Structure formats: C-alpha cells, structure tokens
Amino acid sequence: MSLLGIFATAILPVVGVAAVGFLLGRYEGVDPDALNTVTVYVLAPALVVHSLTTSELAGGTILQVVVAVLGFTAAMLGVAELVGRLWGQTEPLLGAFVLAIAFPNTGNYGIPLADFAFGATGRSVAVLVTALQGVMLYTVGIYVAARGTGTDPLADMRRVFGVPLVYAVVVALAVRWLGVVPPESSTLMQTLALLGNASIPVMLLILGIQLSSVDGTAAVRPVGAASGMRLLLAPVVATAAVLLVGFSNSTVARVLVLLLATPTGVTTLILVGAFSSDRDGISPGEFVSATVLVTTLASVVTVTLLVAALQSGAVV
C-alpha cells in the first residue's frame, strides 16, 4: 500500500476525530473530565474484556508482550535518565524529561491507531499494553515525577489499585483460563462489544480536547531532544525488544513496535502536574505539555512511515 493509502486508512481517521475533539475543546470549552470518567470506568474496561476474551492471542504470546513492554520501558527510562543528566538537567525537570521519553500514548492514540492499522489483533495487543502502561505509570511514573519534591511517592503508588483496566485484564484472562467465555452471540458479549467499539472514537475526542488546552510554548532544546527520542529512538528500542523476546507471531511484534513509537502520553502531563514541583525557568508542566503537542503533531509523519515499514515487513 502507498504512503498516501496508509495515511488515509490508518492515520487520517485518528487525526480527523482528534481534530474534532480539538475544535470542541478550543471553541466550545468542552471539559474532557466527564468523557474521561465514562471511558476509564465503563468503555475502556468493556473494550479490554471483550478484546482479550475473544482474542486469538495465546498465553505464551501475552507473556511475551509483557516481557517486551517491561524491557522497552526499562531501557527507555535508563537512556532518558542518562541523556538528561549528561545535558545537566536537574530535578524536577529531569523527572519530566524522563517521563516524556519513556511513556508513549498507547491508550487514546495507540488503541485506535493499532485497530485501524492491524485490525482485531492490533486492538487486542493495544488494550493489553495500555493496561501494562497504566500499572507502570502509577508506580514507576509517580516515583519519577515526585523525585526531588520531598514527598513520599510510595504512598501515592496505591493509586494503581484504582486503575479499572488492571482489573479488566485480570477478569478477561481468568475467564479465558477457566474456559467460561460466553458465546460471541450472547447478550453480554454483544453489549461489551458495543461499549468497547464506542471507546475508540471517544478516546480520540478526549485526546483532541486535551490537546486544545496544551501550552506549546517551552524551551526548544529540551523539547526537541525529548521529542526526537520519543519518536525516533523509541521505535529502534522497541524493535530491539521484540527481536530479543523472539515473537512467533510477527503481527503482534509489529503492533507492539507501533504502539511503543506513539507520541508522549497525556497521562505524563497529569502525573507531572500532580506530583512534580515548579522551578525557575521552564516548568516541568510546560515542558511536558509542549512535548505532548510537538510529538503528537510530528507523529503524523513518523507514524505513517513506521506503519508503511511495518506492514511491508521491512521492520520485524
């Protein structure tokens, strides 16, 4: 498929729906909190349960995904920490720099993208990765964001137990293991499918609304460095991770690389706002918001090229 065809089928739907959300946020002042609550507590868990219970992903493949994501995250955290310290960054900006590089937007950007680019397999992998990211963000992410503030981040890590996606994954895997998945034609499964399908456009609308309030003014050098590492280095590290794990399912491996190469996650901005502290010059919040905006806009090009490379088999 040509680059134009890939853009039209995989990228344009993501950009188009997010753009509608951006316009709603900018000109109608729509508050994303209500939509986000509905998504987090109803739509996304339904998507996870339906996708994982009906997915053809084997237990061994799921374990490989977990190992690859953990390895990728550890590598990106280490590289970002090293680069930030070599460039003389100090807390709390160093923590924001690390978070912006290490954690991609696998949720309201990655799930729709994987669905459009790789279909049902893409969606199943994406919801699993998003749940893993949720756990890491509310444990490791909180710790990194709160470094240097004098607070106790360990107390706040209990928030991970309030992430519904985690429980949705546990329920879905338990149902599969016990062999009690209801028939696809049952009322329960059709209801879950309806709610899960609704989550895709709603996630994109939320992304657009959130971007409409992002302040893109920040120091060029650190934002440029973080953006480059997030969009250009991350795919390389992700490819190395899936090759080291040795996926037998090449489609799963390609979806994983695509997800881990998405822009900086909006949740990192929330963590920095809640757990970091201000400093003279560019603040962590300004830095992360600018990085989210830059990487999201630039990803239209980088992700299109990556999808082309992945679908052609040139990568993994």
Number of domains in the chain: 1
Question: For residue 291, what pLDDT is reported?
Answer: 94
What's residue 50's pLDDT?
A: 95
DSSP 26: H
Residue 276's pLDDT is 82
CA angle 69, 102, 126 (to 5 degrees): 40
User: Could you write out the three-class secondary structure of 17-46?
Assistant: HHHHHHHHHHHCCCCHHHHHHHHHHHHHHH
pLDDT tens digits for range 259-315: 999 999 999 988 888 888 776 667 888 899 999 999 999 999 999 999 999 999 888
Tell me the per-residue pLDDT of 12-40, one tens digit each, with 9 for 90 and over.
Answer: 999 999 999 999 999 999 989 899 999 99
**Whole-model pTM over 0.85:** yes
Q: In CATH, what number is assigned to the domain containing residue 31?
A: 1.20.1530.20
Structural domain span for residue 302 = 3-312
Low-confidence ranges of the chain (pLDDT < 50): none
CA distance 85 to 40: 35
pLDDT of residue 239: 98
pLDDT at 282: 78
Contact 154, 140 (CB under 8 A): no
